[in-house]
Chains A and B, each alone.
Chain A
Amino acid sequence: MKRKKIKALIESGTVGSQVKVSGWVRSFRNDRFIAINDGSCIQTMQIVIESEKLTSDVLTQITVGSALTVVGTMVESQGRGQTIEIHAEEIKVVGHADTEAISKTILQPKRHSLETLREQAHLRFRTNTFGAVFRIRHHLAFAIHKYFNDRGFFYLHAPIITGSDAEGAGEMFKVTSLDLKSIPKNDTGEVDFSEDFFGKETHLTVSGQLEAELGALGLGQVYTFGPTFRAENSNTSRHLAEFWMIEPEIAFADLEDDMDLGEEFLKYCVDYILQNCKEDIEFLDNRSVQEDKGKPQAERNELTLTERMELIVNNQFERITYTKAIEVLERSKPYKKKKFKFPVEWGTDLASEHERYLVEKHFKKPVIIYNYPASIKPFTCGIMTIIRQLLLWMFYFQA
């Protein structure tokens, strides 16, 4: 018999048939009810066993974290919390889990901090939170490919290793096959990269934009979707040394076309998740509500996760020029009451407090700001603009 995924069984809801499922034990109570999860969805499947029919050897091995394969009959559940369950006829312990050892890990069923879960990133896929997060991550990636594919864009693989002749790319990872114990030097004592694998200095990519431009100027519409790297020594909740970027590029298009694409694309992706990841979103929504309860009022989210996502899907993004944004800020209450820490002045960059005021207080929906002063772009903060800054270093004029 072929194994069925728990997601498929719950969706079909059919009772009476004999099925085979596999998964990891989340709980086992009263020697009768086992909850297993196979990762296909956030829900567990309740397995009802008659423990007296099992050998004590099998019974003792059914513990939290162990892996089981069960053959049984799907029936309507009498209990609360699930509509269907499986009455087991056959149970096989595929992989047992030492109870003593597991109690030292995050698989021990109790609340663990996200920090602890991060330290055991190899096991965190088995938790509800990270199961939900990584299923959503997958669906988002898929939605992105689907969006572009459906509109005739081609997926362009930009190189991971890039050559750069310019100096000052200090925040890029160097790529070399030189023997670090004996680095070849030239007459002036500098590293002789002509001896290196590529015959020149190379780095890990910080952006696929330049390559995407080249692709678009022949294929018409392309996008990249790949890892990018930054050797910036900042340990914050917003920075990674390795992260993934999506960079579409369209030919025969101006800034307005670009804004149209950005808005439609974001709405599509967020809506796709709302439509296709309902249970996971619901779980994460409850999770952040719980988390918010432990925070001071000012730091709590005014909207739930679902509401924030619906705000994107259901609103036309506000489009204002940088000049207009400055005017709005100059008329704002926090500006008049001198509540802003950073100056509001044409030609200076918008600080995050200004952006937040525009998005969250003034317009109360996503905002696109365009036509920035030449003097401040790309010397601004933010993940995208740091990359632009690096690109500027690479090519000085390019951003």
Chain B
Amino acid sequence: MRNNDDNKTVAAMDVLFPGIGEIIGGSQREERLDVLKQKCMEFDIPEDHVWWYLETRKFGTVPHAGFGLGFERLVMFCTGMTNIRDVIPFPRTPKNAEF
């Protein structure tokens, strides 16, 4: 996610719903190549592991943003079911892959 200019916070957001808490987590992505490269250095990541990701910042980079939403969370909210296993047809959980 993108560093804000205050250098203390990042441009991330969470949408919180009554009853279930976080339903969406999103952020504005870091589009600045130099900042990304700096992070690579800080975290000791070889740039050739993420060359493709960096290339999108090399050629016509633009501010962009997005979020993630767990579909089952939304189904729980819209059905009132309280166990996530009851909103997916065939739940996959530890020690259970029946059906």
- B93 with A140: CB separation less than 8 A: no
B39: chain A residues at CB < 8 Å are 396-397
What's the least CB distance linking A3 to chain B, in Å?
24
A374: chain B residues at CB < 8 Å are 3, 7-10
Q: Which of B4, B24, B78 contacts A140 (CB 8 A)?
A: B78
Minimum CB distance partner of A287 in chain B? B80
- A397 with B45: CB separation less than 8 A: yes
- A259 with B52: CB separation less than 8 A: no
Knowing A140-B71, A382-B21 touch, does A377 contact B1 (C-beta < 8 A)? Answer: yes
- A213 with B56: CB separation less than 8 A: yes
Interface: A101 (CB within 8 A)? no
- A118 with B43: CB separation less than 8 A: no
Q: Count contacts on B: residues with CB < 8 A to the other chain.
A: 74
Interface: A107 (CB within 8 A)? no
What's the least CB distance linking B3 to chain A, in Å?
7
CA–CA, A102 and B34, complex, Å: 67
Interface: A59 (CB within 8 A)? no
Interface: A122 (CB within 8 A)? yes
A383: chain B residues at CB < 8 Å are 22, 70, 73
Q: Which of A137, A240, A266, A309 contacts B15 (CB 8 A)?
A: A266
CA–CA, A280 and B88, complex, Å: 16
Interface: A244 (CB within 8 A)? yes
What is the size category of the interface that chain A forms with chain B?
Answer: 35 or more
Q: Which of A125, A144, A212, A370 contacts B66 (CB 8 A)?
A: A212
B63: chain A residues at CB < 8 Å are 251-254
What's the least CB distance linking B76 to chain A, in Å?
9
Minimum CB distance partner of B48 in chain A? A165
Q: Which of A241, A284, A356, A371 contacts B79 (CB 8 A)?
A: A284
Of the candidates B21, B68, B74, B84, the one having the most CB atoms from chain A within 10 angstroms of its own CB is B68
Minimum CB distance partner of A217 in chain B? B56
9 tightest Cβ-Cβ pairs between the two chains A and B? A384-B25, A397-B39, A249-B66, A396-B43, A370-B13, A258-B65, A244-B71, A242-B92, A305-B80
Interface residues of A (CB under 8 A from B): 114, 117-118, 121-122, 125, 130, 132-134, 136-137, 140-141, 144, 165-166, 207, 209-210, 212-214, 216-217, 225, 233-235, 237-255, 257-259, 261-263, 266, 269-270, 273, 277, 281, 284-285, 287-288, 301, 303, 305, 308-309, 311-312, 317, 321-323, 352, 355-356, 358-360, 364-374, 377-378, 382-385, 387-388, 395-399
Known: A209-B68, A240-B88, A309-B77. 14 other contacts (CB 8 A): A121-B99, A137-B88, A237-B83, A243-B84, A243-B88, A244-B71, A245-B69, A258-B26, A270-B78, A312-B17, A355-B22, A367-B15, A384-B69, A396-B39
What are 18 A-B pairs at a CB distance below 8 A?
A121-B89, A144-B71, A165-B49, A213-B56, A250-B64, A255-B2, A255-B13, A257-B65, A258-B26, A266-B74, A303-B18, A308-B19, A367-B15, A371-B13, A372-B14, A374-B8, A395-B49, A399-B1
